[in-house]
Chains A and B, each alone.
Chain A
Amino acid sequence: MTPKNNIVIGIIIALLVVASYNVDANPVEFVEGLPNLAIVIEEMLVVEPKYIPTAIWAMFETIQMAFIGTVVGVAIALPLSMLAARNLNNKYVYAPIRALLAAIRTFPSILWAILFVIMVGLGPFAGVLAIIMYTIGFVAKLQYEAIETIDSDPMDAVSSIGVSKWQLIRYVVIPESASHLLSQMLYMFDYNVRQTSILGLVGAGGIGFYIINYIKFFEYGKAAVFMLIVLITVLIIDWVSVKIRDKYIIKSQHGMEVATQ
């Protein structure tokens, strides 16, 4: 441990104490509140099976919202990422696009949802729009970063053939960053299912709408059914995307390693 490290650790601890004080974070209150959790869990255990079909249907709606949001979001993010990549554009193109994407990213999805509920009214459509915005902001960033890390040699070699910029994108940029894109789509869908599950809190459709309403009326047993379905769905999606990643992405990335030898 160098003295410099000690100072850094000291500063972090000091900040932690000050911040905890400012947000009223009190460990004693947490311990005293534990019995309340026990009550909630006890009530949740009285699962009401007759709500399972409704819960599955609500989950299905949530997945569809996340799906549309991911696909449309990625479709819009892709061209934006091409415009935001520094190795494909001059600064008058990429700088404003990057600023726009940064602005989109400053909003969490729940704030987008509130905005769209105001714009288009309550319901899943507002949620879909929120997911689209969130996906654009993140996938475009991840993708332009992936494009900027593309090996410059194929880019140079193909540019020097005298191809058009669109041909360069089609024949070099997309194939060289495709595995990243697939990986990002899977990750984003996974993440969007979870996000969409809570957008109902502000009335933007999906399964969260049911959960928040049951909780409001202290019907924890019913809420539990819906939460359980969310949990199972997220686990399944996680498992499936790991499988897809193993099958398509790891393999092609391994190929890249072989190629650079």
Chain B
Amino acid sequence: MNTGRRAFLATLAGGLAAPALLRAGTAAHVIVLGAGFGGATVARLLAGVPELRVTLIERDATIHTCPFSNGVLGGLWPMERIAFDLVALGRAGVRLIRAEATGIDPETRSISLADGTRLTGDVMVLAPGISFDWAAIEGLSPATAEQVPHAWKAGRQTEILREQLVAMEDGGLVVVGIPAPPFRCPPGPYERISLIAHYLKTNKPASKILVLDAQDAFSKQPLFEEAWASLYPGMIERVPGSASGAVMAVDAGTMRISTGFDDVTAAVANIIPPQRAARILTDAGLDDGLGWCPVEPVGFESRVAPGIHILGDAALQGDMPKSAFSANGQARACARAILARLAGHEPQGAKLLNVCYSLTAPDYGFSIADVYEPGPEKVSLVLSEGRTTALGASAETHAAEAEYARSWFDTITSQLYG
């Protein structure tokens, strides 16, 4: 390797800030893992930069987004609404590799694929999302998830849960099990409960939903409870963590769901297991034993391995929730940091946003909307008061927020996959 190229790579990796970094002659190789909200954003932004070669590794040919998957469960729209291919990313200049990544070597910045291929990058961006902690709930496993779906990674799991709801008789009991935090999308389970209730009210009004929750309080709780009381009175019962709500065991054969306190038999059970960073990251030690991967708050570079950026749900960055909106903003900041290093500058932080809309019915939406700033140690929430839609908001406000939610989803997915 010639000196120029070495300096260039060291600079990209954050080692040096030499202006001579562009003497390399060959394009630097950026490897991106995961074509979800974090990975697809970064790949799309960096594709076409002449100094870079971008490779994107993704196991699935079709991405099914978790955002708007609750709408599929509620019958608001079909699966196609959340299905996207990666053709546009390829057209934008990203080299796509459809494969399962099996291992990461942080030292050499290389990644192994299921077929034995090994790719080495000058910079790595890892956004593989979450893994489930199956062992935390007795009787739950990838195999039993065929009968007791989590639907917390969208796709076939979403279809299974939807099919079960459609096949259920009127008067059936739907059990939703919610894990202790942190998990992806803090308001997601409660949006799901709402949209399942919408489906049941419309099609199977004698049915009930029992929520077995490891949490006591939850995201946008007053707004959800206000909506449930007005839209679905008597349909939803919730057992919080302090009343032993956490699901401890599942028997997929008999559909018995057990908490530390009680057993119920479900017609349909949607049990969401506890979560941590994707296994491939924890196996590589990138979580530093914490279960989530610590990163710095400007370019989301790993605190464990220089030159490796970790985005989205897997990252331990501070106060931002594990949302698609956050992953997208982090990815934009990461792309800026990579380009800044390429040009020989120190990356500068800028404020970030998160907006999470929740739908409780087709025309009833509300939101949490926050500004974040990269501090010296972590990403910090700027204002901790008045973050959500007000209680008692008008029907017009809820309809407008539902409309904006749909608009956000269509815009972000067209930016990534369109």
B and A form one assembly: no
Question: Which residues of B are interface residues toward A (Cβ below 8 A)?
Answer: none
Chain A residues with CB under 8 Å of chain B are none
